[in-house]
Structure 1
Amino acid sequence: MAAARQVGMEVSAENSNDAWPKWKIGLAVGAPIAVVLGGLWYVRRRRRNQTKKNKDENKSRTETQKPKAANSPSRNVPENSEKELSPSEQAQAEKNKGNKYFKGGKYDQAISCYTNAIQICPEGDKESLSTFYHNRAAAYEKLKNTKMVIEDCNEALRLNPKYQKALTRRATACEQSGDLTQALEDVTAVCILEGFQNPQSLVTADRVLKSLGQAKAKEEFKKRKPTMPSKHFIRTYLNSFLNDPVINESKALMSQQNGHSDETGAYHQALQKLGAEEFEGIIDLCTKEISENTQKATEARLLRGTFYFLCNQQKEALEDFNQVLAAELLDKRMKVNALIKRGSLSIQQEKNTAGLDDFATAIRIDPDNVDVYHHRGHHNIQMDRIEDAIRDLENAISKCTTFAPSHVQKSFADHKKAASQLMGMNLPLPQSVLQSYKNCVDMFPDYGDARALYAQALGDAGKFEEADREFSKAIELEPDNATALVHRGLLQLQWKQNMKEATAIINKAIELDPKCEYAYEVLGTLEVQKGPGSMEKAVELFQKAISLSRTESEMAHLFSLSDAAKAQLNVAKKLGINLPGLGAMSS
């Protein structure tokens, strides 16, 4: 079922704010602090003494050369004493000098001045010291010295944890150096301090979050164990094909009396299991048929490849689809079906060009095949190619007006298009979108997905009672549709702000289908909203969802949720900020 998921950004990292010892600061400019400070005092005193000496010598020469006026009293000329600057004033002067060098592009000289300012400034003047460290970090940034940028920002933030410029600069440096966890925590802190009002910070947070999730998913996806999805998921996938030769052969077999046949081979046993929705064991039966190299080996390979695909065994699935497509004298519908599934696998692996090429080949072979347009339309929605998706789904509907999945997907594509056009405009969902879903429900009253998506749209439009009724009907039609239960639970939260009822309904979804990844994802998000005390439970739920995720991109999304939640809560705790959550809702 194409379910629109909406989850907010929340976010973890160990904060590496280790203090930079002052002897290291001294070494950075080539001399210990005591020597630098003593040297500055010595030079200043010597300059004053030299000035006084010169004045005395000039005065002596003048008095010698000038004739004295008769009876003229000697003049007492007071010495102009130089005003002593305080250490804070001296530090500010060095900073100002550094700023001039910085503006002139003389970054090494600027660093030297900022270092002097740091060494001179009293330790108690934390605000000024923080600024000096940050200014020096900015100069190091110009010199592309990422390590020193991070170290100076660490010091600036140790002195002033809410220093937004330092947080932003360290986030950038950490992102460049590959420390995405720290980068995410820093940019999250900036977003919180800005009240999530700065688009640039939000874009940065989204980029870092996405990169971190992808990096973790890439590693985890390699280690994941194959798992059979729920019966509802498999049934929904199989029902999205109108012209799958193997599925249709299974239906024909099951339509015979009691589903029995004179055939006793492994492939036919697999077809019987397919029709009876006894999906475990199908792969093994197909493997047996293939090993015996019977006349049905190619069909068995297509069926096995389909279940490898459903079980996330992508390498094995690709090999089977390639073998099917390499077979001689292959039936047209077998070839098109294998191309659709191989194309879908490529797109799932984000090899979009290869995947779309397979769909294009399938259309050239069989331009009237509904399945090609339907599945390409589905993938175009996923790739945000909405206009292409709408054209594909209109084509699918024109080929077969009674195929419910294409009608529902078309309504979903129209919904997504309208939502993108209204983004940021705070306008209600157009009536045309609701009517499109309503038409699907009227045409296919027994199709659960049509009602479930209509219910979601009604909820988005604020028509909560109608939405709840449609969810109830959808669940009645498909009692094992756990995803519909999850959305009904979310509706209670949106409608009644009742977290307890929402959680109870979503837990029922997990009881119904322990493999419903979306239920764990939503429960994890709700746990995050309860505050730091629920973090361990939230992470546990996100990890469960990750273990059940079907694709690397889904896994990346889930890692992003987990990392986002931890980082926001960590930042709030460190900065002493109370984040708004759902804890105040009805319980």
Structure 2
Amino acid sequence: MADVGRGGSDQWPKWQTALLVGTPVALGLAGLWYYTRRKPGDEKSKRDKPEKGEDSTTTEGTTSKVQSPSDNVKAQQKSTSRPDVDLNPLEKAQAAKNKGNKYFKAAKYDQAIKCYTEAIRICPPENKQEIATFYQNRAAAYEQLKNYDQVIADCTEALKYNNKYVKALFRRAKACEITGRLMQCLEDVTAVCILESFQNHQSLYMADRVLKDIGKAKAKEALMNRQPVKPSPQFIRTYYSSFMHDPLNQYLNLTSQASEMEGGIEHSKTELTKASEKNQDEISEKEQDESMEKSMKGEEVKLSPYRQAVDCFENHDYDDIVQLCSMEINLSNSSYLPEALLLRATFYLLRGEGNKAMEDFDRLLELNDVDKRIKSNALIKRGSLQMQNGQTDAALADFQQAIDIDPENSDIYHHRGQLYLLTERIEDAVTDFEKSLELSPHFAVAQVQKCYTDYRLAFHRHSPLQLQNAISAFQKTIEKFPDCAEGYALYGQALCDQQMFDKAENNFMKSIELEPDNGNTYVHRGLLRLQWKQDIDEATKLINKAIEVDDKCEFAYETLATIEIQRGNLDKAIELFNKAISLAKTEVEMAHLYSLRDAAITQSNVAKTLDITIPNMAASFME
């Protein structure tokens, strides 16, 4: 599957970046570091210190320890031995609460609510912790009655008296999730995670779940109104370089130019030339017929809109390609309808207009008498789009249909191999890459992808011997295809993972030398510097260089944003996430970025509410 976000090489950051610049839950990026690095005695003393007024007997599913101050215990003891007339207001309030607790345990929630209401009414206003407890207990009773609006209202009142009250925060978070108030839910559960030092799995999983739900909803809405993203020339070149048999390359008869696009790939010239000659013959026949017909009518002969689009592609002039393809498609007697649909769909895909791309792919695949190579290419691209949208089964069905139509097309196995790699079906990926190379043994991109997959399989199996063999095979492949930039980039990632940092650096630099406008490689090199030298300034400099050479490198903005979170620069991180979101190509990708951004925003809001200073995360790398 051609990667339209990382140039075919994005597995490593997804696989390793969390170890370098993040934690499994996005909102923990700064908070987790802060709380786990505090002096052990600080947090222990806070957890062991009872929180005034809290009583757990009326709260189910709580996330904090039972904490009852000694003065309240004394008040309760007094209340059992003294008549009500002798009790002071606080003691009367405690007695009402205790009575409510008994009703709660007996599942008499309406009576419990009356008792808690009485406790709130008579409690002296200076006893804020106790009042907070009474509101929280009443919220627990309302929760049992599924009166979630009142749960939220009472928890809100409790938090006015104690803004770090974990039980009230978590109970309100649950009620907000049920009622669809997801942003408030996220803010509350983030506060819970911070106050509990990120130790409670229930709150962590809830935060992760809510972040994903928010991200999906925002991405769906944003995609409906977004403008297409003009892809960079490098982005287009890298995408097409992942195909050995794309019909467009064959129409252009680009044996030598395609080799350049694919990093010095020595194609099987017999295969490509035969296919190209065949297609050129077909094109010539069509154009001769058109020219003869127009000459007989005395009309000026000019290229069809589709052929003009192909010329634009050859000249790296991409702006008018979609419009020219549309003109061709709208012709009543187009000679290039399948080709125009395929080219337009591909550029819709590259511009992040997935729905339009899907419509064109569907229309093309419904046509009769379409060349099998065009049809299989459309199925590969539609399958890749299905995968990017999280529809794995539909994607695999498209790849299988492509095999049924065109079993000798090595691109099918190459791209399905990448799909398997992304879904951790590594052995299946190896099998597909082997089949791809059996059909096209001189396709360098597939060769290096196969090496990387062998490495991943060895890593997965914890086999030192297989790891050594995979690294050795990588080296031989690089020597065989010395002009393949992607080979050096993937080899560098494997070497970095093995902590062979010097060699990894050399390979990244060689990849950049061959393809200086590929921003992704600068990002990988920046991450290497972060892991190797703990040099966050140099890492940031390299990632900014990625943006300089390709200002549409979404990977760079996302990675920089993550680093800025660690530095404590949340406003800057949010700005960078917004830029990455504007460049995202698919709904899944955009949802992920929205989740990261909203985690940063929420963390900032919670830090202000709880009066917590976000630390300088960069310092942690130096200690």
TM-score higher than 0.5 here?
Answer: yes
State the shift of 1:580 in Å.
4.0
Match of 1:277 in 2: 316
CA separation of 1:405/1:196 partners in 2, compared to 1, >3 Å: closer, same or farther?
A: farther
State the shift of 1:415 in Å.
5.8
CA distance in 1, matches of 2:411, 2:379: 11
CA separation of 1:456/1:333 partners in 2, compared to 1, >3 Å: closer, same or farther?
A: same
CA separation of 1:503/1:253 partners in 2, compared to 1, >3 Å: closer, same or farther?
A: closer
- The 5 A counterparts of 1:44-55 are none
State the shift of 1:388 in Å.
4.1
Match of 1:445 in 2: 482
CA distance in 2, matches of 1:542, 1:419: 32
CA distance in 2, matches of 1:180, 1:463: 44
Q: Which has the larger radius of gyration?
A: 1
CA separation of 1:151/1:434 partners in 2, compared to 1, >3 Å: closer, same or farther?
A: farther
State the shift of 1:214 in Å.
0.9
Match of 2:297 in 1: none
Q: Give deviations 1:264-320, integer Å, cap 9, x for gaps.
A: 624333333333433232223333433443423322222222112212233332333
- The 5 A counterparts of 1:56-455 are 84-252=86-254, 265-266=303-304, 267-292=306-331, 293-413=333-453, 434=471, 437-438=474-475, 440-455=477-492
State the shift of 1:480 in Å.
0.9
CA separation of 1:116/1:421 partners in 2, compared to 1, >3 Å: closer, same or farther?
A: farther
State the shift of 1:366 in Å.
2.2
CA distance in 1, matches of 2:380, 2:84: 87
Match of 1:484 in 2: 521
Aligned letter for 1:181?
M
Contact 1:468–1:488 under 8 Å retained in 2: yes
CA distance in 2, matches of 1:165, 1:504: 44
CA distance in 1, matches of 2:583, 2:540: 20
Match of 2:495 in 1: 458
Contact 1:253–1:272 under 8 Å retained in 2: no
3-state SS, counterpart of residue 507 of structure 1 = helix
Q: What is the TM-score when the length of structure 1 is the normalising length? A: 0.79
CA separation of 1:398/1:253 partners in 2, compared to 1, >3 Å: closer, same or farther?
A: closer
Q: Give deviations 1:473-493, integer Å, cap 9, x for gaps.
A: 111111111011112122223
CA distance in 2, matches of 1:420, 1:167: 41
Identity percentage of aligned residues: 51
Contact 2:97–2:119 under 8 Å retained in 1: yes
CA distance in 2, matches of 1:139, 1:337: 60
Contact 1:251–1:275 under 8 Å retained in 2: no
Matched, 1:507 2:548: no
Aligned letter for 1:168?
F
CA distance in 2, matches of 1:438, 1:115: 75
Contact 1:499–1:582 under 8 Å retained in 2: no
CA separation of 1:387/1:90 partners in 2, compared to 1, >3 Å: closer, same or farther?
A: farther
User: Which shows bigger deviation, 120-129 or 218-227?
Assistant: 120-129
CA separation of 1:304/1:452 partners in 2, compared to 1, >3 Å: closer, same or farther?
A: same
Matched, 1:2 2:9: yes
CA distance in 2, matches of 1:161, 1:247: 63
3-state SS, counterpart of residue 456 of structure 1 = helix
Aligned letter for 2:584?
S
State the shift of 1:183 in Å.
1.1
Contact 1:500–1:586 under 8 Å retained in 2: no
Contact 1:191–1:201 under 8 Å retained in 2: yes
Q: Give deviations 1:520-578, integer Å, cap 9, x for gaps.
A: 222222333333xx443332222111111101111111111111111112212222233
CA distance in 1, matches of 2:353, 2:373: 24
CA distance in 1, matches of 2:541, 2:233: 23
Contact 1:306–1:341 under 8 Å retained in 2: yes
Match of 2:506 in 1: 469
State the shift of 1:211 in Å.
0.7
State the shift of 1:390 in Å.
4.0
CA distance in 2, matches of 1:82, 1:91: 11
CA separation of 1:285/1:568 partners in 2, compared to 1, >3 Å: closer, same or farther?
A: same
Aligned letter for 1:196?
F
In structure 1, stretches of 5+ residues that fail to align are 12-79
CA distance in 2, matches of 1:370, 1:112: 74
Aligned length: 509
Contact 1:515–1:548 under 8 Å retained in 2: yes
Q: Give deviations 1:5-25, integer Å, cap 9, x for gaps.
A: 3353238xxxxxxxxxxxxxx
State the shift of 1:252 in Å.
4.0
CA distance in 1, matches of 2:405, 2:94: 77
State the shift of 1:225 in Å.
0.6
Contact 1:498–1:585 under 8 Å retained in 2: no
Contact 1:497–1:585 under 8 Å retained in 2: no
CA distance in 1, matches of 2:459, 2:175: 36
CA separation of 1:133/1:236 partners in 2, compared to 1, >3 Å: closer, same or farther?
A: same
Contact 1:254–1:272 under 8 Å retained in 2: no
Aligned letter for 1:278?
D
Match of 1:577 in 2: 612
State the shift of 1:168 in Å.
1.4
CA separation of 1:181/1:105 partners in 2, compared to 1, >3 Å: closer, same or farther?
A: same
User: Which shows bigger deviation, 369-378 or 206-215?
Assistant: 369-378
3-state SS, counterpart of residue 619 of structure 2 = coil
Aligned letter for 1:559?
Y
CA separation of 1:475/1:253 partners in 2, compared to 1, >3 Å: closer, same or farther?
A: closer
User: Which shows bigger deviation, 127-136 or 549-558?
Assistant: 127-136
CA distance in 2, matches of 1:247, 1:492: 38
CA separation of 1:276/1:365 partners in 2, compared to 1, >3 Å: closer, same or farther?
A: same
CA distance in 1, matches of 2:100, 2:460: 48
CA separation of 1:432/1:203 partners in 2, compared to 1, >3 Å: closer, same or farther?
A: farther
Q: Give deviations 1:150-183, integer Å, cap 9, x for gaps.
A: 1111122222222222221111111111111111
